[in-house]
């Protein structure tokens, strides 16, 4: 299941739309940063990624996928995600 949110400020991002089959964030969030190793989205205050333990992050990211059940999710399998959570689709350095 792919979730598309519009004006959902509780999750820390603005408008997410589907363009050309990809989820694209119109305005990147300052509330989250993305792990450079596993692409998990975490709060900017977090020092180490809770998924992989990396301390390397980027505030340059776009797109978001929320995985609830990685065992049953085709999207999670395609992206190599094994842990439930929020993930960026694309992460810059």
Per-residue pLDDT tens digits for 33-47: 999 999 999 999 999
* 52 annotated as ligand-binding: yes
Tokens 């978001």, located at residue: 64
Task: Name the residue with higher pLDDT: 71 or 29.
Answer: 71
Q: How far apart are CA 34 and CA 36, in angstroms?
A: 6
Domains along the sequence of the chain with CATH: 9-91 (2.20.28.90)
Instruction: Tell me whether residue 49 is annotated as binding.
Output: yes
Res 55: pLDDT? 98
Stretch among 4-18, 29-43, 77-91 having the lowest mean pLDDT? 4-18
Q: What is the mean pLDDT of the chain?
A: 80
- Consult the annotation and say whether 33 binds a ligand: no
Q: Taking 70 as the threshold, does the pLDDT of residue 21 lie above it?
A: no
Q: Give the rounded percent of residues in the chain with a pLDDT score beyond 70.
A: 67
27/83 Cα distance (integer angstroms): 26
Confidence at 22, pLDDT banded by 50, 70, 90: low
């Amino acid at each position: 299941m792919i979730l598309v949110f519009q004006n959902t400020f509780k999750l820390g991002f603005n408008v997410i739309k589907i363009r050309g089959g990809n989820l694209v964030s119109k305005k990147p969030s300052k509330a989250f940063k993305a792990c450079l190793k596993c692409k998990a989205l975490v709060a900017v205050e977090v020092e180490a990624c809770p998924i992989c333990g990396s301390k390397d992050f980027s505030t340059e990211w776009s797109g978001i996928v929320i995985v609830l059940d990685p065992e049953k999710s085709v999207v999670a399998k395609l992206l190599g995600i094994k842990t439930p959570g929020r993930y960026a689709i694309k992460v810059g350095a």
